[in-house]
Structure 1
């Protein structure tokens, strides 16, 4: 009887785990409504904005976090602030009904929402975001002497480019020839031309990509350790190879900058260590097959997997963006093409770019939604042509403005 009871409990536990697991990964279907104003007679653009509004409402039904704060002065309410955000991702969107009521476009959708997703309130598209990976500066060049690892500044970004291109949704470009930071010890902080401190990089805006990945190798040195105290060595290694061994360390700082503003959007530090059992004069090279066959190389390979995963997670949650290269009447030319996944019939929102300055005359880039939607009509490998519902002069759309796909 006791065995039967235990067996039933195990089955119930398995069912409960499966049910909870399914609710996280599969989510549930909800119905939501959205609406948008029809501008410039563009009903399709209004339809897109209405669907986006409905998607936001659907995500709020699944998981809404509310923050509120109130400030009282002399018994009077002076500040009343409420912020609502969602931690849900919306997929499998289907428009059930749509209608036009005067100058308003209304839609009703069915959608699947999943709580606790990485990109909350985000609908994944198939466009590949462009990422340039620049040189990884070495803070202590003498660390590379043993093993002849002096090419780490270019070998490391080249390896990351290959790994990133093996994933969908990212188009990685090798810019390992480019050194981003004039002062390595203080990177990514630098002194601007106006003697102010900043973590923005102007060079990132000149590469013509959406994101720029860079970094600094802080440590690649050696240390002699007692093998019995080395956690990376197994029991067999301890018994068969007693004594002291050479252990190598890698400490890496990673930076991700926005390619349109130059602002720093992500920063992380990574470290790995392992036994370095090569001869002192042996030519190994960084990120070579011989390098990855060592204990230290295997640790670094696992570290790179985490780095690539973090880069991918950072760019995946951002919308697809591309510059406008030319404007002519109702036609615009976009600096992204088939290699980014654009196809005829795709629709992109048009944003104006402008620059404003703070009191120190530091410039910042601002994006303003024009409420226009451009329809892609022609796609080439490196550029695309799209049509607008009105003449570009009406809203002063210019080259270097951007299109965005949410």
Structure 2
């Protein structure tokens, strides 16, 4: 079999230009077609600014097969709407990108090229870079224009004895992740109380995934995504030595002291008998698996491991509450804080390309109440798409038939809605199409937030 992979780079000297986009007018009417036409124009502007074409071909048993993919080097999402019009069953818009597209430097194009392409000698030589793996993220929605609701389920501890010296370890871990996710301004996080997203059975390493439990948690807490995890290892190891005085011994430490009866009989130096040698661990591990689930389907979106170790001050006192300033000042606490920050970045990476969605909690004649408001950055005049998900009996099964690996549920696009009123925790919208009858449990989604 012969394989070939080529990278075609297109970069132009850009100047001010008008870009036209169009979309067919469908069930969502003109508002939805307008939104899709703007998205089409933005994609064309992004491709005009610089595009990559990946192509591969293979010959096997005399049969030739070819694959090709074209995508922009950078996504443009700011624009100025110049004009819009309807022609028959199509809606047209004319935009100008803002800021104006700039030429993309060759080194940036090379840095964003997939590793398997750069690994090709011809492509690598053409770019003047060394072939090395480079992580790539390409999606049309990666700016977190809206804050997404996320549920942090209980993190299970594989070896509970490892946390004897850590006060409030599991609930503290949940609380700290919630705080960091909220501080990122990308999410509206909530926490469960001792409810995990899956089962961790004794004697088995991999957890038993349960999509129905994930869906039930998401419904009950009203969130779009669910995040769970397993703390695999926080064990301490190695030895370091120091002086110990009296009973100043923490969990995981031990003391060796000389027994000299005569010292106890001498009233002028009884305290010497309290002096001893303290032996405590010199290093400690932190290893955790994080699972990100889609709340509507219960499907696993991403699984990622975070692991590191610290040396020095790694054993905690019972008064060192997890997540407190005192805890983070220790060597082990500093390392754990870095791992929590990486977990938040990992959640960002998993959900950056997932469109914002909210559920319908009430229907009152022509008004629809949505369980997301100004705290999620929804504003009056925003337009959303209305969807209905099939029942749980319509789950698309995995190829192997394992119910824990179901692929999700089909959905139907019903109409477009426009936000007319916004409160902190909810918003009210009206339908663009009066023939549709929305139901509680349906949901609305933003595929793109228009520039203001």
Q: Same fold (TM over 0.5)?
A: yes
Please tell me whether the aligned partners of residues 35 and 104 of structure 1 are also in contact (alpha carbons under 8 angstroms).
yes
Match of 1:174 in 2: 191
- Determine the C-alpha separation between the residues in 1 that align with 2:304 and 2:366: 44
Aligned residues: 355
Question: 258-267 or 325-334: which moved more?
Answer: 325-334
Cα deviation per residue 1:11-53 (whole Å; 9 max; x = unaligned)? xxxxxxxxxxxx9xxx987643211123469433321111011
Whether the 8 Å contact between 1:337 and 1:382 is mirrored in structure 2 is yes
Instruction: Give the corresponding residue for 2:423.
Output: 380
SS at match of 1:178: coil
* Corresponding residue of 1:398: 439
Deviation at 1:321, TM superposition (A): 0.6
**What secondary structure, in the 3-state scheme, does the structure 2 residue paired with 1:88 have?**
coil
1:287 is aligned to: 323
Q: Which moved more, 1:150-159 or 1:88-97?
A: 88-97
| 1:182-204 per-position Cα deviation (integer Å, ceiling 9, x unaligned) | 22565764166xxxxx7984444
In 2, are the aligned partners of 1:129 and 1:340 still within 8 Å (CA)? yes
1:177-192 alignment runs, 5 A limit: 177-183=194-200, 186=204, 189-190=207-208
* Structure 1 residues 329 and 87, CA gap change in structure 2 (3 angstroms): farther
Check conservation: 2:41, 2:95, Cα contact below 8 A. Answer: yes
The DSSP-based 3-state class of the residue aligned with 1:133 is strand
1:120 is aligned, of 136, 139, 151, to 139
Three-state SS of the structure 1 residue aligned to 2:410 is strand
Of structures 1 and 2, the larger Rg is shown by 2
Q: 36-45 or 331-340: which moved more? A: 36-45
- Cα distance, 1:159 vs structure 2: 0.5
Question: Which structure shows the higher strand fraction?
Answer: 1
Q: What are the ranges of 5 or more consecutive residues in structure 1 without an aligned counterpart?
A: 1-22, 193-197, 228-242
**CA 1:191–1:163 in structure 2 vs 1: closer, same or farther (change >3 Å)?**
closer
Unaligned runs of 5+ in 2: 1-10, 113-135, 242-278, 448-452
Which secondary structure does the structure 2 equivalent of 1:127 belong to?
coil
Q: Which residue of 2 aligns with 1:17?
A: none
CA–CA distance in structure 2, aligned partners of residues 311 and 127 of structure 1:
15
Secondary structure at 2:357 match in 1:
strand
Relative distance call for 1:273 and 1:365 in structure 2 (3 A) is same
Deviations 1:212-259 (A, max 9, x none): 1111111111101579xxxxxxxxxxxxxxx98521111111111111
* Alignment CA distance shift 1:173-1:188 (3 Å): farther
Q: Distance in 2 between matches of 1:259 and 1:121?
A: 21
Does residue 33 (structure 1) correspond to residue 20 (structure 2)? The answer is yes
Aligned to 1:233: none
Q: Identify the range of structure 1 (153-162 vs 30-39) with the bigger mean alpha-carbon deviation.
A: 30-39
- 1:128-143 mapped onto 2 (5 Å cutoff): 128-143=147-162
1:367 and 2:403 aligned: no
Distance 1:285 1:405, change over 3 A: same
**Residues 137 and 184 in structure 1, CA contact (< 8 A), matched pair in contact too:** no
SS in 1 for 2:282: strand
Q: Aligned-pair distance for 1:177?
A: 3.2
Contact 2:218 2:225 in 1 (8 A): no
CA RMSD, 1 decimal: 3.4
Deviation at 1:279, TM superposition (A): 7.1
Which residue of 30, 42, 48 corresponds with 1:61?
48
Match of 2:178 in 1: 161
Alpha-carbon separation, structure 2, partners of 1:367 and 1:40: 14
